[in-house]
Structure 1
């Protein structure tokens, strides 16, 4: 449940029919319209509690300060809060409402709240995971491997990225490394009635957006080196730390629903020093 207090300061005596609080969930998905910016969505959840009312048409509230406690029950089927850089796909708000004698409704206060579900990840599951990695060969001169401990990274955490290189030539060595975390949004958009007529289609479309939530460059990693077993080159290994954003204004959690899909991926770029600079992006 969501509990709190509604604080009202009445400047002069007023007649009121009712005072209540309401918890409202709202879905707001941007459409990719050709004309103007519009949104699809609506109310996804609503709970209300009456805090003061009268059997008559209204009651008098004298001038002064009022503190009214409330508690609103929640549901297990409530969708999560989904906000981030430049969007509020799904949000919740607790509203304080006053209904006047003429049935005029005023939202006297509004406070956003967040709702998130804890992922069902067991420590044993993380230990049993195969270490995710990407490896390859560049110009038949440098073998590389980039690996992370787990794909299940907590929101706002700092996680290590292991980089390993094996040069098959003595004049080939790793240089600057750039790591970035890309956030991808897939949104299911239902066409409006006018769009269905204009474009002769009633099928939903999937819009895609992608941006980097983290971009970090490492120019001077502390490598551990060793002579290769074939004596023709060297081996390097180092660990870089990636710091994820710790606020929901800078990053959005992974999510998969019928309308919204969000996921993240790690992208890296390595510059190698040789007779001519070479760059590999995977």
Structure 2
């Protein structure tokens, strides 16, 4: 009968995404609840509640297909009630109730993504009636803490470069602009490969961003005794970005002497998903841990097209939420990161590298064995200290020494 007397009800939030920071003014969840009644109704109370819920999927665990939930945060505010807390009569017509929740500076972030709703917040308006079921209107809201990476204006960028020599006799240099990247952004990955294997050529490079999720809750007393466990854990891994760059024979550039001295150097963008339901931010708490890694796999082949070597390198990433990313209606405005801290260039080609100083000096000896002044300043960069090899007396012959 109560629902038949309601012409309309609406819960409106001023902001669907709230950011909390210790250095800024206290954040608030504000909004209004509108209720239209066709006639007088008896109501015990009307209250609004902000609740945080931690949910762990139980599919395949203990034979259950449901989710285990736990309340992590709760604030409550009365909107209408009698002084004696008894049932009161609410007249017919339109009614509007305003509410305001002051949020603490330390609060667990909203954590959602592909196939998970680990931690969510909901605003609920509850109309309580005596000896009858409650009438509830709810709406979800996202709450994030502003990352220290966002509030520290003097924070230097943290570029990451991996270079080395693989077991397959391949030199490589891999660089990213910053290991800390905003949610939904696009950032460049620079790659350089120089196989020392004869006739080895680069076939394809695959770049992936892998997200690893782990969530856990304390097991109940009955579950602990029955299954001998302390925690219920849910773990899964997913690929949030994948891209393959292929190379053909036309990409190869043989050297002047006809030898297979080939090097590959290129930059390719990595675009994180611009959806709150396709990717999560990196986070590590008591109950939830989500990490991200960048996998770079290079495949090499021989002249016949048969695979000769495969190398894989892994770079850690930290994806953080920022107020500049989430727009109206929870749309994502991805940023385009194009900077590289320090040098953007991988090692130069082998034939262009500076040769050994001793060999260079020895090559400039005249026919009589008298070394000439060998200036090597031009071989070094302008930032290095100039150096020179001065004229020296030749070493005495063996028979003169004895």
Alignment TM class, shorter chain as reference = 0.7 to 0.9
**Deviates most, 244-253 or 171-180:** 171-180
More strand by share: 1
**Deviates most, 5-14 or 54-63:** 54-63
TM-score (structure 1 length as normaliser) = 0.86
Q: 1:191 aligned to 2:219?
A: yes
**Deviates most, 155-164 or 47-56:** 47-56
Q: 1:280 aligned to 2:307?
A: no
Q: 1:218 aligned to 2:245?
A: yes
Match of 1:111 among 131, 139, 161: 139
Secondary structure in structure 1 of the residue aligned to 2:100: strand
Q: Kindly indicate whether the alpha-carbon contact (under 8 Å) linking 2:82 and 2:88 is maintained by their aligned counterparts in 1.
A: yes
**How many residues get paired?**
278
Q: 1:176 aligned to 2:204?
A: yes
Q: 1:265 aligned to 2:297?
A: no
TM-score (structure 2 length as normaliser) = 0.62
The RMSD of aligned alpha carbons is 2.9
Aligned partner of 2:156 in structure 1 is 126
Q: Kindly indicate whether the alpha-carbon contact (under 8 Å) linking 1:136 and 1:145 is maintained by their aligned counterparts in 2.
A: no
Q: 1:27 aligned to 2:57?
A: no
**Deviates most, 147-156 or 48-57:** 48-57
- CA spacing shift, 1:166–1:261, aligned 2, 3 Å: same
Whole-angstrom CA distance in 1 between matches of 2:131 and 2:299: 71
Give structure 1 regions of 4+ aligned residues with deviation exceeding 6 angstroms. 221-226
Q: 1:256 aligned to 2:314?
A: no
- CA spacing shift, 1:51–1:224, aligned 2, 3 Å: farther
Q: Kindly indicate whether the alpha-carbon contact (under 8 Å) linking 2:45 and 2:82 is maintained by their aligned counterparts in 1.
A: yes
Q: Kindly indicate whether the alpha-carbon contact (under 8 Å) linking 1:19 and 1:50 is maintained by their aligned counterparts in 2.
A: yes
Whole-angstrom CA distance in 2 between matches of 1:224 and 1:69: 68
Larger radius of gyration: 2
Q: Kindly indicate whether the alpha-carbon contact (under 8 Å) linking 1:126 and 1:150 is maintained by their aligned counterparts in 2.
A: no
Whole-angstrom CA distance in 2 between matches of 1:63 and 1:250: 45
Secondary structure in structure 1 of the residue aligned to 2:222: helix
Consecutive unaligned residues in structure 2, runs of 5 or more: 1-27, 313-402
More helix by share: 2
Higher RCO (CA 8 Å, separation ≥ 6 residues): 1
Consecutive unaligned residues in structure 1, runs of 5 or more: none
- CA spacing shift, 1:74–1:232, aligned 2, 3 Å: same
- CA spacing shift, 1:55–1:125, aligned 2, 3 Å: closer
Secondary structure in structure 2 of the residue aligned to 1:153: strand
Whole-angstrom CA distance in 1 between matches of 2:33 and 2:309: 59
Whole-angstrom CA distance in 1 between matches of 2:198 and 2:120: 56
Match of 2:124 among 80, 90, 95: 95
